[in-house]
Amino acid sequence: MIQIHDLQVVKPEFMVEYAEGRFNWTALIDRLAAPDPLPSGDETLFRIDRIRLIEPAVTFRSSLIPGGKTTLHLRNLEITNIGSTPEAATSIQAVFQAVLQLLGQKSAEDEGGVLPPELRHPFRKTVKDRRTRPHP
């Protein structure tokens, strides 16, 4: 088993691209919306006691944005007790889901801001549809 007590990632930058009516994150969002797979027994178990994302940012790239790209800065994020061990309360998927939730909130707050409506509205819909879709 791999155990990390404290993982701090400073200034991570996530890239969201929008082209041909699709976001590059759509497949990732779909995968994160699926239930966690059960461990196969061949996997290395891991646990992170605390992970912190300090000054995370998301850069949007699209021809709809003047200049081709813009960056939104998110609030810091801390999640505890993550991993694939039975003692872990949260899966690694939860980290990505938390970032996605922050991004959805930030895009909602951006009304009239840096994201054009032609990009902001489909992104919000993509995030909302994937978060509220029932699991099979």
Which three-class secondary structure state does DSSP give residue 80?
A: strand
Average pLDDT, the chain: 79
pLDDT at 7: 94
- pLDDT, tens digit (0-9, with 9 covering 90-100), for 28-55: 767 766 665 655 666 788 899 999 999 9
Q: Given a cut of 60, is residue 130 above it in pLDDT?
A: no
Q: pLDDT band at 86, cuts 50/70/90?
A: confident
Cα–Cα distances in angstroms (integers) from residue 36 to residues 31, 86, 96, in the given order: 9, 13, 13
